[in-house]
């Protein structure tokens, strides 16, 4: 085969353009190939498969724990003489002689047939088991939010490759909008996903405060929440005015610049009585109500301030109803509201009930349950856009004591829909279950699938705790389900995220021995402003940094990237934003999940099948 030979066929005198690479099997067998440094690895892969008499698509080739792509070259990967490549069974192939069966390690729950072999896979340890440190993952997840900060950074900023940015945000409109968070790998501040991020961070603290304290991360969690709520206070300039976005995606995406260098539009956009935005008003109300609960003991004055803003925003969103992306057209195509605003109004009301114990908000959730879809929508996802499952889970956990007959009846209907969501995740509904990848990952859709995995994992964790604390089980179409089974599913999802997956890669950046290095993130991809204050222009950033072959210069620690596709495949490339871009609302739900699992490090949970 042109460009590649086995070691015994090598020719002397061509050291500069050739490299010897060793392909290693699980049984210890080794085959050394000599390949030109600029030859695509598909030739080596094909040569190995021919030698082993297996189908090409039955083998995965890994280098340093990362899956190789056929079009890559040794030069591109900076391979050195004698480097080893692991050949791993991917799916049913031909002869198994000499093939590394290492990919079966991720099937560590229940029984699974691999290549026709019956494997009791709970005896197989995850390849990267030493990296599945939930406490460490918790710490790193909170660190991520410091990398996403906009505004003037504090003295105790731990992510030191970031610096002040967006210091004139709102100036053109005569309002101070400095602060808040960039949503992902760009430099826009989108209010709706930012608010959902803060709601989920706050819910994590509400549920797992003591565990965050024990882990030494409670203060960091409060700081992450307050960075968002301080911004919301600024953005809510009048009872019926909320500034919901700074910058726009179209102009921002034309440039590849560090936040510190931004030359793109920083125009701010608002919703008001004439231009309503019930989704963003409702979600921001929910975030501030949830945060009010968080700060109730440590900062009671601030808690009351947040609660006042939350109540005003809810009243505004409910009284002046309308879709926010109809009022803020530049949000469409980035954070389009598909589900509408009724779920956000229910979501805000249920959080205000938790924060105030006022029957007004409970009655709102009860009286609008049917007309707003709270007890009619059977949902299998929970996200920045679709809040029904979250409303249903919280309503299901509200105590029935002291409720009248009608209230109890409606709350039971909410519970029925909440448990439909749980059963869908467990693959126990008669229909409409959440799909799984072959490796067992919950799979909702191609673009940024990990956001749905993390948010579902949080709801599952919270409901598992509820069942355990109330000594309850429930029925999934004839199959009784208890808290341990739910938590076992959560653990399987988190373990997948942290490295127990077919790619052998942690999708939480900076965690474990192998993680994405080409994250789609402007600031992380470029020289730190603190180290190089020279201005980087709009197209200069694309020319010099976006297209750069090497990995990002700064590690975006704690970021949860979009993750693999439906076949567990992941392509680590900066331009592959569908898979390599991370968002604040990806990581936020994991804070609570990591806090829960961190106390179970040494606990053996019965694991369920991923089938």
| Six token digits for residue 474 | 């429930």
Distance CA 457, CA 273 (A): 37
Write the DSSP symbol of residue 602: T
Distance CA 61, CA 605 (A): 32
Which alpha helices (DSSP H) does 215-341 contain, by range? 218-235, 249-252, 278-294, 300-319, 324-327
Which alpha helices (DSSP H) does 431-498 contain, by range? 450-470, 483-497
Looking at the chain, how many residues does it have? 611
Determine whether 393 is exposed, middle or buried from the number of CB atoms within 10 Å of its CB (0-12, 13-18, 19+): buried
On whether the CB atoms of residues 365 and 346 are closer than 8 A, the answer is: yes
| Six token digits for residue 408 | 């109890």
On whether the CB atoms of residues 392 and 373 are closer than 8 A, the answer is: no
Distance CA 323, CA 278 (A): 6
Name 432's Cβ contacts closer than 8 Å, sequence gap at least 6.
378, 380, 424
Name 349's Cβ contacts closer than 8 Å, sequence gap at least 6.
314, 361, 364, 365, 368
Strands 66-67 and 442-443, by their bridges, are unpaired
Catalytic residue among 18, 309, 520, 521: 520
Distance CA 397, CA 569 (A): 37
| Six token digits for residue 421 | 């969501």
Neighbours of 216 (CB within 10 A): 11
Question: Quick check: is 220 catalytic?
Answer: no
Name 152's Cβ contacts closer than 8 Å, sequence gap at least 6.
164, 167, 178, 179
Structure-token match 């390849």, residue found:
127
Distance CA 463, CA 481 (A): 12
Name 339's Cβ contacts closer than 8 Å, sequence gap at least 6.
385, 386, 387, 388
Beta bridge partners of 269: 245
| Six token digits for residue 86 | 């692991």
Write the DSSP symbol of residue 542: I
Pick the closest to residue 100 from 6, 28, 22, 48 (CA basis): 28
Beta strands in 111-224 (DSSP E): 111-114, 117-120, 189-190
Helix, strand and coil content of the chain, in percent to the nearest 5, comes to 45, 10, 45
Structure-token match 């929508």, residue found:
377
| Six token digits for residue 189 | 């501040």
Catalytic residues: 520
């Amino acid at each position: 085969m042109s460009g590649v030979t086995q070691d015994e066929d090598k020719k002397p005198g061509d050291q500069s353009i050739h490299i010897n690479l060793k392909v290693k099997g699980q049984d210890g067998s080794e085959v050394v190939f000599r390949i030109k440094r600029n030859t695509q690895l598909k030739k080596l892969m094909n040569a190995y498969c021919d030698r082993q008499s297996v189908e090409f698509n039955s083998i995965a080739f890994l280098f340093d724990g990362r899956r190789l792509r056929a079009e890559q070259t040794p030069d591109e990967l900076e391979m050195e003489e004698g480097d080893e490549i692991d050949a791993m069974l991917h799916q049913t192939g031909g002869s198994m002689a000499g093939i590394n069966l290492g990919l079966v390690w991720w099937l560590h729950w229940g029984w699974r047939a691999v290549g026709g072999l019956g494997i009791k896979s709970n005896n197989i340890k995850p390849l990267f088991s030493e990296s599945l440190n939930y406490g460490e993952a918790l710490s790193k997840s909170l660190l991520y939010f410091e990398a996403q900060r906009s505004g003037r950074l504090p003295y105790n900023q731990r992510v030191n490759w970031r610096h002040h940015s967006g210091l004139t945000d709102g100036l053109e409109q005569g309002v101070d909008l400095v602060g808040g968070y960039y949503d992902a790998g760009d430099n826009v501040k989108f209010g709706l996903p930012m608010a959902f991020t803060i709601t989920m961070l706050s819910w994590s603290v509400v549920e797992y405060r003591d565990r965050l304290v024990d882990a030494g991360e409670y203060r960091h969690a409060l700081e992450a929440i307050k960075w968002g709520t301080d911004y919301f206070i600024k953005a809510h300039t009048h009872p019926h005015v909320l500034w919901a976005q700074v910058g726009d995606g179209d102009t921002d995406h034309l440039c590849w610049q560090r936040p510190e260098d931004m030359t793109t539009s920083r125009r701010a956009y608002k919703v008001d009585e004439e231009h309503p935005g019930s989704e963003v008003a409702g979600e921001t109300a929910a975030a501030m109500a949830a945060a009010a609960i968080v700060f109730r003991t440590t900062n009671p004055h601030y808690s009351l301030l947040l609660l006042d803003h939350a109540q005003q925003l809810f009243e505004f969103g409910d009284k002046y109803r309308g879709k926010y992306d109809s009022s803020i057209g530049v949000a469409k195509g980035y954070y389009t509201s598909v589900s509408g605003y009724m779920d956000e109004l229910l979501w805000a009301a249920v959080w205000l009930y938790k924060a105030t114990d006022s029957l007004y908000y409970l009655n709102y959730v009860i009286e609008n349950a049917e007309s707003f879809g709270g007890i009619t929508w059977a949902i299998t996802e929970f996200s920045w856009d679709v809040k029904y499952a979250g409303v249903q889970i919280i309503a299901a956990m509200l105590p029935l004591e002291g409720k009248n007959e009608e209230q109890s009846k409606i709350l039971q209907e909410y519970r029925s829909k909440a448990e439909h969501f749980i059963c869908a995740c467990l693959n126990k509904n008669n229909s409409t279950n959440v799909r799984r990848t072959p490796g067992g990952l919950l799979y909702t859709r191609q673009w940024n699938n990990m956001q749905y995995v993390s948010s579902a994992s949080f709801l599952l964790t919270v409901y598992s705790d509820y069942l355990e604390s109330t000594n309850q089980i429930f029925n999934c179409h004839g199959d009784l389900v208890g808290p341990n089974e739910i938590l076992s599913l959560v653990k399987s999802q988190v373990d997948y995220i942290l490295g127990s997956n077919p790619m052998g890669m942690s999708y939480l950046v900076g965690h474990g021995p192998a993680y994405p290095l080409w994250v789609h993130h402007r600031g992380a991809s470029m020289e730190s402003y603190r180290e190089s204050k020279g201005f980087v222009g709009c197209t200069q950033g694309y020319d010099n940094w976006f297209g750069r072959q090497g990995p990002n210069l700064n590690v975006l620690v704690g970021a949860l990237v979009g993750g693999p596709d439906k076949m567990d495949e992941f392509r680590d490339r900066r331009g592959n934003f569908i898979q390599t871009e991370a968002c604040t609302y990806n990581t936020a739900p994991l804070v609570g999940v990591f806090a829960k699992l961190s106390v179970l490090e040494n606990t053996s949970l019965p694991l369920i099948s991923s089938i």
